[in-house]
Every structure is written in C-alpha cells, then in structure tokens.
Amino acid sequence: MYGRLVPVYLVVDMQDSEVTCFHDPSPHGYRARTTVSFGEPLRIPAPFDFTLDTTI
C-alpha cells in the first residue's frame, strides 16, 4: 500500500545500523531503494530532494 501512496519511505534499522530509502512508487510497490550504513550520506529523491546526514 505504501508504494502506491507514499513517494518516499525511510526505514531506520538500528540493529544493522542502516537506513533504507524506498522510492519510485508504482501500483505494485516501490521500484527502487537505496541503503547506506550509518555515517554515510543518503540522497532522498524528489519531492524532498535533499541529502540526509546519517551520522550519529
């Protein structure tokens, strides 16, 4: 459902120290995702269009 309505979905995984950005929604879910480890910058695509600082 999120992949049809929400343009960008972030998941913060504290156990694996990663952040995943799901984007490019379609009727069947998200077509793209980007995962970075904490401390690496994460590019958030449009409509937000910014780089997330994931340092702790």
What is the C-alpha to C-alpha distance for residues 13 and 19, in angstroms, rounded to an integer? Answer: 6
- Number of CB atoms found within 10 A of residue 19's CB: 19
Angle at 33 between CA 3 and CA 27, to 5 degrees: 25
Give per-residue pLDDT as tens, 1-56. 666 778 999 999 999 999 999 999 988 889 999 999 999 999 999 999 999 999 97
pTM across the whole model: 0.88
pLDDT of residue 2: 64
Residue with tokens 């480890």: 37
pLDDT of residue 4: 73
* 50 and 41 Cβ atoms separated by less than 8 Å: no
- At 38, give phi and psi (nearest 5°): -55, 140
Give per-residue pLDDT as tens, 42-51. 999 999 999 9
